[in-house]
Structure 1
Amino acid sequence: VGVMKLLDNAFRYADQMGQRQGSGAAYLSVFHPDITDFLDTKKISADEDVRVKTLSIGVVVPDKFIELAREDKDYYMFYPHSVYKEYGQYLDEMDINKMYDEIV
């Protein structure tokens, strides 16, 4: 989330010869522990130190999250680096539908 402000500033700086601001996007998994802070960066009431104006944001919502929501089950958040340290594999390389229960 902290890097987003740097990206936002960079995209505002990189305009198209003064005609249009630069733009970019950042995405975060719904299973990431910082997801609420991530979403808060677009709120008008957000602190100016974290608020992003130029950067668009999106949430990656895997099928596993939809499945858990439909079944009204709890879901757990985890840092991708923690998963890598434990399993030696990056989260985006895993099939979250198969690995979710093991990771939790």
Structure 2
Amino acid sequence: MMHEPEPALKKAMNLLKELSEDEELREQYEARQKFLRDQISMIEGAQEEGLKKGMEEGIQKGIEESEAESKRKIALNMLTLGLDQETIVKATGLTSAELKAIQEEK
């Protein structure tokens, strides 16, 4: 007792039959498949590149935020020690405006 093949299998079998009988049709099919694989490859490459760039930017931003927080803590300590603003600005690399903002937070 033979069963009717699944619709997807039947479609694949029909396509295989058509391709094996018509060389031009087979070449068109193969060219289309190559095009689709190339498109997928380009998309995957772009995704990997985007992810890499995003990670690099995130790391850089984290470093910058960490440096800014370190400078802020050092400036607070120097203010607590009673050092003058000019010395603190020179030592930390903060601007006068940034130092003033830190003082106002305190």
Between 1 and 2, higher relative CO (CA 8 Å, sep ≥ 6) is seen in 1
* Structure ranking higher in strand proportion: 1
Q: TM-score, normalised by structure 1?
A: 0.20
- The structure in which a higher percent of residues are helix is 2
Structure with higher Rg: it is 2
What TM-score results when the alignment is normalised by the length of structure 2? 0.20
